[in-house]
Structure 1
Amino acid sequence: MNIWTKIVITWILFIIVSFSGVVYAATPVRVVVDAYNPPNMYLQNGHAAGLYSLLLDAIFQRMEHDVSIEAVPWKRAMDMGAQGTAGVAGIYKTPDRLLIYDYSDPIYTELLLVFVQKNKTFTFESVKDLEGKRIGVILGWSYGPEFDKARAQKTFEVEPVNRDQLNFKKLMDGRLDCVVASRESGFYEIARKKHTEILPLPKSLLSNPTYLAFAKHTHKKDFLMRFNAALRALKESGEYELLVKDFMHEIDFHTIPVQ
């Protein structure tokens, strides 16, 4: 093999490797979020919207990696995540899910509250106080180990739907004793529909961190390490706090009655 042949082969290999790298870098990571959990994550005009989309975009920009965020019903999001066709954002950790997914560092922390009609309040200190209640929940969601265990034991009755909007309507109609929802989602529904006769009970059910997770068989641990580094950088720069603060400022939480 003469010197010119070697040079040509070297250049061909260089172009192939370079092109492969560009294709890899340009391939967006596919992430799904809930389509019906405003204001944190929802579908708007055919696109994913809400706090999680905002934070994910900022984190992926720091990673210099494209992301495709889709909003789908939560049950479908969980199916896609388990199958490995997409990562799932806004997901909680549970013992069962830890067997399936590799998780990022926490993206955000949601406060889960128990919402009731103002004239039908009850004392709530723990899951035991929900015994015998009819409770509105979201299909496919976990509400913490204690709640999930009591649910499996049929300590109370749950009525799963695919969005909080339906749960709050059922609560207003007297078909539920209470609804468990994130602080943001519950307050959003109250403000949106002017449900001034609905309020959260004083004690929260759970403070639950949310994550980005990929099925273990997709081998995304190294990717999640890069994601975590970008998330830390976003927080250390102060940009994360500003993004959350500005987003929450748009939701008029202070007008919501709290007992």
Structure 2
Amino acid sequence: MVILIFFLAHWFLSLFFQTFFLHRYAAHKMFTTHKFFERTFHVLTFVCQGSSFLNPRAYAIMHREHHAYSDTEKDPHSPHFFTDVFQMMWRTVISFREHERKLKEPEARFKGNYPEWRLLDYYGSTWYARLGWGLLYVAFYMQFATAWWMYLLLPIHFMMGPIHGAIVNWCGHKYGYSNFDNNDKSRNTTPFDFFMLGELFQNNHHRHPNKPNFATRWFEFDPVYPVMKVLHWTRIIRLRKPALT
């Protein structure tokens, strides 16, 4: 039971800060916040993602490229140019590392207005940090695992962030229904997206990329949006008026 709770906590906390801080804040600036809270969210993203920490600058640039070139050959992770999800994941890793290490100069329109913390972003992306987090996961399992099969969950812990991205980018552009014609292949994989915290409303999101609520129809539910509303009411963040066109 302890291992299951730990796994689910890691899954959903890592995913929450990926969608809340990296996606909705770093890439799209759906809300503003005080520098203190920005740094707090930055640290929590590092802690919750652990060995698969994603650099906010690199994430924001690559995601903006994805929106600009959705499902074209310039899209860094469209599933329609790969034979399987593993090839897409590898291509995504290459694109991400180019931006993370500043080996590729992005277009001017994709640059700026994202959180940067030089020390944390550098340290969190080193193999020392990733290995350290990995050893902590292994130590936790050695202490609390009660069956051999539980250790099969460890690779998911090691690669949590890329796994989340692969699910969203593969399924969200191949399977499900469409509310809008976005001139791409984006889909809403499921009308109640608790498992991926609203990230599988790709069709809605590509239609309204700056709208903090990824759900649009009455039967759809984005579980992160109510959390954002509470943070807005408590003045920790300030939701901006979404651009609906």
TM-score range, shorter chain: under 0.3
More strand as a share of residues: 1
Normalized against structure 1, the TM-score is what? 0.24
Whose Rg is larger? 1
Normalized against structure 2, the TM-score is what? 0.25
